[in-house]
Structures are given as C-alpha cells and as structure tokens.
Amino acid sequence: MLAKLISKTGVSLHRFRPCRHSTMNSTSIPERIACLPRHPDHPRATFLAAERCDVVFASYSAGQSIAPHTHETMNCGVITAGEMILTKNGIEARYTPGDWYEIPAGCVHSSRFEVHTASVEFYFS
C-alpha cells in the first residue's frame, strides 16, 4: 500500500538521521523537525517544502528583533512557545502559545521577542 502511494505521488521517504543543530532549542522543537533542512533565509529554522506552501519551524532568542520588511508570500503561523510582538501597518499585537497570526503578501511588518519563542509558520505563494 505504501509503495503504491509513493509511486503515485512521487513522494520519497527517507529515514531521519541523528543530527546536531546547535541553534535549535530541543525543549521547544522535536528532534525530527530539527533534522529537517535549514530554511535558507532563517538561520534558526527548518522547513518542509510543499506545493505552493513552505512550512517553517522557527525558533527566536530572547531579545531578538526582526526589522520591518515584506514578503511576496502570504504568511500565517501559530506560536508554540513564548511570545511574539508583531507590528503590522504600525499596529502592535502580542501573540502567545496557541495564537494564530496572518501577514498578507506585501504587508510591511516587524517582530520582536522578549522571551525565547517558537512558532510554526506557513509561507503561501
């Protein structure tokens, strides 16, 4: 059954190998997710590529901030640990574990993190 699914979808399965990503916080991101490929634009994140969507597993240090910027993609995400302070169009909002946020394509936004924070982010093209 699994072989049929793989041949139909073209999905390849591979075993997770032990890895050591020193920038990932093992208390907030499971090892199997920490072993995924590194996101090219986010040094503390791994990702899954999917058709028209990348799934990013991110970790932010206490005191980290991200300057105002935009994305060509529509992004949304959920905070899994800590707190994100997100500013969109000059309006600041705080997101804590379980909170979802959305950032439209082209929207100027910035964020900061007063405590260690982890999130799962979806970048839709």
User: Domain containing 54: what range?
Assistant: 44-125
Structure tokens given for 37: 């490929």
Question: For 80-114, how does the pLDDT look when each residue is reduced to its tens digit (9 = 90+)?
Answer: 999 999 999 999 999 999 999 999 999 999 999 99
Asked if residue 72 is part of any domain, the answer here is yes
Q: What pTM did the predictor assign?
A: 0.69
* Residue 19: pLDDT over 60: no
**110/36: higher pLDDT:** 110
Task: Dump the DSSP string for 4-24.
Answer: HHHHHH-----PPPP---TTS
Asked if residue 77 is part of any domain, the answer here is yes
Q: Do 118 and 25 contact (CB within 8 A), yes or no?
A: yes
> H/E element holding 46?
strand 42-50
Asked if residue 21 is part of any domain, the answer here is no
Asked if residue 16 is part of any domain, the answer here is no
Asked if residue 23 is part of any domain, the answer here is no
Task: Dump the DSSP string for 107-120.
Answer: --EEEE-SS-EEEE
Asked if residue 51 is part of any domain, the answer here is yes
Give the Å distances, CA to CA, from 84 to 16, 22, 79, 96, 124: 30, 22, 7, 7, 20
Asked if residue 90 is part of any domain, the answer here is yes
Domain at 122, CATH number: 2.60.120.10
Structural domains in the chain (count)? 1
Asked if residue 20 is part of any domain, the answer here is no
